[in-house]
C-alpha cells in the first residue's frame, strides 16, 4: 500500500510544467524575532505546494499527471477532476505577498520591518522562503483620550471605561495598529450595549506621532461628535431606550401565549438598547419549536425621540407531523424486521412545547438455540417525551432564567422483550434539564430524577439451569443482571468546547479542544429510607422497595479531546477518556447498562465491541462473554492523523490504546481486577487506517484496525501481534456514522 502511494505520488509531472515555469514544491516563513507569529502570516501566502496525503504523498498530483493531454476525452477529464493540477510558481503574486506581509508586520509596531524573499530553483522545481526582518519595535510614550461629546464623556466615566493603552502608563506599551483597531471595537461594543444605537466605529479615529525618535510614538484617541445628517445641529450622541414591544403574526392567528413570548424576549420595555439583547431575542425565537422563522425590527419614533420601538414578526412551524420507519436487521445471521411510527406536536399547550410519542415493534427469527421451546425474538416499545422551552423549576433567580438557554424534558418509555431464553420488561422515567451559557461553548445537563424498573416475568428452565442455578457454572454477574431491579439515580453532565459559536466546525480546520465531565449516583435516597428497618431486606440481605432490590453506585466519567491543525488538509486529533464506577451499599455488582466495555468503532479499534478485557481476561464462552467482558473502570487513549483525499473522501491513520478493569475480584473474570502495579501492562494497543465519506452534515466512517499489543496473552507471539500479524486473528473492520471523538 505504502509502495503504491510512493509510486503514484512520484508520477512524472514535467510535461505539465511550462518551459519557463517552475513547480512550487515548498514554502516557509521565518522571523528574526520570535515575538512575531509566523502562523498568522500564513494567510498572506498566495500559493501553497500541492496537497499531500498524510503530509507525505502527493497522490492528487500523481492522479492528475496520469491524465493525457487531450482534455476532450472523458477519462482524462475524470482524472483531472479527481486529482489536483500542479501549482506553477507565480512570482508576481509572491512579490505582492511580500508587500502584504510587510504591511501586516508594520501594523504590529515594527514600522521599519522588511520581508526578504529567497527563491531556490532546482531544475523545474522551486522552493520559496520568506524571511521577516522586523528591526526595532515602536512603543507608546504618551496616550491621550479626547471625547468631543461632553455627555458621552460623562457616561464613559460612569462605566469605568479606560483604554488599554492608558492603563499602567508608567510602562511603555508596544505600538500596534492592530491594538488600536481592537480598542476602537472595544469602545463600540461598550456603547452599543449601553443604549447608543446609532454609534459606529467611524466616530473613533487616532492621531499618531512617530517623529519623536528613539522608536517612540504619541497616540491620541479621538471620539468625534455625532453628525446624523448635514443639516443637524445636534452633535451629541444619544442613549436610546426601548419603547413598545409588539408581536406580529402576519396572516396567522396568535399561536403562542404572551407569557411564552415575553420569556423568549431578552429586550425589556424601558431598558436601554443593547445590541446583544436584540441578537439573543432573535436566537430565542428561532429556538422555539413552534416558530419556523422570526425577525426583529427596530423602529425610531421620530428624529427628536430617544425611544426605539421593537416589532417581532413570527411565522409558525407545522404543528403536527407523522413519520414511519421500516428496517431490516441481521444479528449474527439471525434475520428480522422492525417498524416504528412517530407522532410529533411542536406546540402542545401553545407554549412551544415539543411532544412526541413513538411506537416500535420488532421481530427476529433466532436460529441455533437448542433446548428452548420458542425460537423467535419479539419486542414492543413505547417512548414518549415532552420538552418545555425553559426551566420548570422553582426558586431560580429571574436573571438566571433569562440568561440561560434552557429546556425541561420529561420522558417515559416502556420496552417489552420476549426471547427464547427469557422475557424482560423495562419501564423508564426521566426528569431532565439542559442549559447552555457562553455562546453555547458551555453546556449542562442535569437529570434530577431518573427511574428504571427492570422486571423479569419469565426465565426458561434451560437458561436458568445452565447459567443461573448450576453451582458448577454459577455466574454472579450474569445472575445479578437477570433479576428484578430498581434504579433511581441523578446525574450531572458538563461539556465545554473552546470553539466559539459561529466558528467553523470542520473536522479538519480547528485547533479546538473539548472537555466532558459526568457524575452519577444511584440508590442513596432509597438507602436512607429503607436501611432503618430490616423488614425491608430480602433473603440475600439487600434492602428492597416494594420487594424489589435497588442498585446503589457512584459513577464518574471524564474525556478530553484536542485537535491540531497542520494545514487546511491535515490535522491531528488526540483523545483521552477515563471512567470509574463503584458499586457499594446495597450493590456489589454494577447493573449491566452502567458497566463499561472496550473495543468497537469508538474505542480500541483492533477489537470488536465487548471483545477486550477486563484486564488480561480471555472470553471462553461466546454466549455469555457480553456480560463477562465488562468492567468498572475504563481507559481510552487515541491519536488520529486526518487527511483530505479528494471530493468527499477523507482518510485517517490511528493508534488506539486502553482497556477495562473491575474494582472487585470476580471469579468469573480472572485477571480482570485493577491493580496499580499491573494495569499498565494490561493496556491493549491497536493501529489502523480509516476511510471517511464526509457530507458535512453527516460522516460515514470505515475503519480497519489491527491488534498491536494483546494483554490477554503472555507469550510474545500473541502478546505482541504487531511483530507477528495474522489477518484472521488480529484484523477488525468497523462501520460507523460520525467521528470517533
According to DSSP, the residues that pair with 687 across neighbouring strands are 655, 706
pTM of the model: 0.85
- pLDDT at residue number 11: 61
Measured CA to CA, the distance from residue 495 to residue 442 in angstroms comes to 6
Domain 2-133 has CATH 3.40.50.1860: no
- pLDDT at residue number 508: 38
Q: Which helix (H) or strand (E) holds 433?
A: strand 422-437
- Fold: same for 2-133 and 241-316: yes
**Regions in the chain scoring below 50 on pLDDT:** 230, 504-509
**Residue 254 Cα to chain centre, angstroms:** 37
Radius of gyration of the chain measured on its C-alpha atoms: 33
Is it true that the peptide bond before 33 is cis, omega within 30 degrees of 0?
A: no
- pLDDT at residue number 402: 67
Grid cell digits, residue 523? 440508590
Closest to 570 in 3D by CA, of 617, 618, 525, 507? 507
**Residue 192 Cα to chain centre, angstroms:** 32
Q: Where are the domains of the chain?
A: 2-133, 139-223, 241-316
Residue pair 345/325 in contact by the 8 Å Cβ criterion: no
* String of DSSP letters for 675-696: -TTTGGGG-EEEEEEEEEEE-S
C-alpha torsion sign, points 606, 612, 616, 618: negative
**DSSP 3-state of 349:** coil
Domain 139-223 has CATH 3.90.1150.220: no
- pLDDT at residue number 507: 41
Give tens-digit pLDDT for 169-220.
Answer: 567 789 999 999 999 999 999 999 999 999 999 999 999 999 988 899 999 9
The CATH fold assigned to 241-316 is Ubiquitin-like (UB roll) (3.10.20)
- As a three-state string, the secondary structure of 160-221 is CCCCHHHCCCCCCEECCHHHHHHHHHHHHHHHHCCCCCCCCHHHEEEEEECCCCCCEEEEEE
Give tens-digit pLDDT for 68-116.
Answer: 777 788 888 888 888 888 999 999 999 999 999 999 999 999 999 999 9
Amino acid at each position: 500500500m505504502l509502495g503504491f502511494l510512493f509510486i503514484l505520488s512520484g508520477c512524472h509531472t514535467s510535461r505539465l510544467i511550462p518551459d519557463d515555469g517552475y513547480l512550487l514544491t515548498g514554502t516557509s516563513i521565518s522571523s528574526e524575532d520570535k515575538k512575531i507569529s509566523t502562523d498568522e502570516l500564513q494567510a498572506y501566502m498566495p500559493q501553497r505546494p500541492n496537497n499531500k496525503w498524510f503530509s507525505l504523498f502527493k497522490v492528487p498530483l500523481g492522479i492528475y499527471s496520469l491524465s493525457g493531454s487531450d482534455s476532450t476525452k472523458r477519462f482524462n477529464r475524470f482524472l483531472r477532476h479527481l486529482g489536483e493540477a500542479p501549482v506553477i510558481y507565480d512570482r508576481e503574486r509572491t512579490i505582492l505577498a511580500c508587500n502584504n506581509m510587510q504591511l501586516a508586520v508594520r501594523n504590529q509596531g515594527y514600522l521599519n520591518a522588511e520581508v526578504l524573499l529567497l527563491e531556490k530553483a532546482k531544475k523545474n522545481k522551486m522552493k520559496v522562503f520568506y524571511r521577516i526582518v522586523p528591526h526595532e519595535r515602536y512603543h507608546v510614550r504618551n496616550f491621550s483620550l479626547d471625547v468631543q461629546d461632553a455627555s458621552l464623556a460623562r457616561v464613559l466615566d460612569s462605566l469605568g471605561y479606560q483604554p488599554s493603552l492608558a492603563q499602567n502608563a508608567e510602562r511603555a506599551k508596544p505600538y500596534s495598529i492592530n491594538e488600536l483597531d481592537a480598542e476602537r471595537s472595544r469602545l463600540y461594543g461598550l456603547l452599543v450595549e449601553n443604549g447608543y444605537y446609532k454609534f459606529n466605529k467611524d466616530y473613533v479615529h487616532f492621531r499618531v506621532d512617530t517623529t519623536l525618535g528613539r522608536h517612540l510614538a504619541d497616540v491620541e484617541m479621538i471620539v468625534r461628535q455625532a453628525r446624523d445628517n448635514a443639516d443637524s445641529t445636534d452633535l451629541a450622541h444619544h442613549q436610546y431606550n426601548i419603547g413598545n414591544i409588539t408581536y406580529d403574526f402576519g396572516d396567522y392567528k396568535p399561536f403562542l401565549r404572551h407569557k411564552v413570548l415575553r420569556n423568549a424576549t431578552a429586550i425589556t420595555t424601558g431598558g436601554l438598547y443593547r445590541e446583544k439583547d436584540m441578537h439573543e431575542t432573535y436566537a430565542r425565537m428561532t429556538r422555539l419549536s413552534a416558530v419556523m422563522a422570526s425577525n426583529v425590527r427596530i423602529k425610531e419614533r421620530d428624529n427628536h425621540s430617544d425611544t426605539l420601538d421593537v416589532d417581532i414578526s413570527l411565522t409558525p412551524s407545522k404543528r403536527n407531523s407523522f413519520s414511519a420507519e421500516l428496517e431490516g436487521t441481521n444479528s449474527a445471521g439471525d434475520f428480522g424486521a422492525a417498524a416504528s411510527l412517530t407522532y410529533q406536536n411542536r406546540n402542545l399547550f401553545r407554549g412551544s412545547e415539543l411532544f412526541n410519542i413513538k411506537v416500535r415493534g420488532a421481530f427476529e427469527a433466532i436460529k441455533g438455540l437448542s433446548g428452548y421451546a420458542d425460537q423467535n425474538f419479539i419486542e414492543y416499545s413505547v417512548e414518549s417525551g415532552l420538552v418545555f422551552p425553559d426551566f420548570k423549576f422553582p426558586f431560580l433567580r429571574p436573571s438566571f432564567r433569562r440568561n440561560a438557554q434552557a429546556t425541561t424534558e420529561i420522558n417515559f418509555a416502556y420496552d417489552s422483550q420476549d426471547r427464547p431464553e427469557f422475557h424482560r420488561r423495562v419501564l423508564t422515567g426521566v426528569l431532565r434539564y439542559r442549559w447552555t451559557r457562553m455562546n453555547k461553548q458551555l453546556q449542562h445537563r442535569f437529570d434530577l430524577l431518573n427511574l428504571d424498573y427492570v422486571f423479569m416475568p419469565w426465565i426458561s428452565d434451560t437458561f436458568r439451569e445452565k447459567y443461573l442455578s448450576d453451582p458448577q457454572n454459577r455466574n454472579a454477574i450474569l445472575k445479578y443482571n437477570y433479576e428484578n431491579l430498581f434504579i433511581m439515580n441523578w446525574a450531572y453532565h458538563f461539556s465545554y468546547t473552546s470553539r466559539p459559536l459561529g466558528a467553523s466546525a470542520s473536522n479538519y480546520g480547528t485547533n479546538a479542544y473539548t472537555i466532558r465531565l459526568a457524575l452519577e449516583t444511584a440508590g442513596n435516597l432509597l438507602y436512607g429510607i429503607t436501611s432503618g428497618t430490616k423488614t425491608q431486606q430480602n433473603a440475600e440481605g439487600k434492602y428492597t422497595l416494594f420487594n424489589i432490590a435497588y442498585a446503589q453506585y457512584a459513577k464518574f466519567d471524564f474525556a478530553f479531546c484536542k485537535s491540531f491543525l497542520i494545514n487546511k488538509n491535515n490535522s491531528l486529533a488526540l483523545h483521552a477518556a477515563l471512567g470509574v464506577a463503584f458499586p457499594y451499599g446495597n450493590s456489589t455488582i454494577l447493573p449491566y447498562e452502567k458497566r463499561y466495555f472496550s473495543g468497537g468503532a469508538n474505542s480500541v479499534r483492533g477489537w470488536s465491541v465487548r471483545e477486550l478485557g477486563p484486564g488480561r481476561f480471555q472470553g471462553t464462552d461466546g454466549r455469555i462473554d457480553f456480560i463477562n467482558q465488562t468492567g468498572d473502570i475504563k481507559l481510552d487513549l487515541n491519536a488520529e492523523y486526518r487527511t483530505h483525499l479528494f471530493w468527499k473522501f477523507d482518510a485517517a491513520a490511528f493508534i488506539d490504546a486502553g482497556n477495562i478493569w473491575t474494582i472487585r475480584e470476580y471469579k468469573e473474570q480472572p485477571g480482570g481486577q485493577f491493580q496499580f502495579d499491573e494495569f499498565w501492562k494490561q493496556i491493549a494497543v491497536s493501529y489502523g487506517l480509516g476511510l471517511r465519506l464526509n457530507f458535512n452534515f453527516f460522516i460515514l466512517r470505515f475503519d480497519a484496525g489491527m491488534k498491536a499489543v494483546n494483554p490477554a496473552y503472555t507469550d510474545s507471539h500473541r502478546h505482541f501481534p504487531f511483530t507477528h500479524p495474522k489477518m484472521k486473528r488480529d484484523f477488525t473492520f468497523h462501520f460507523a456514522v460520525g467521528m470517533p471523538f
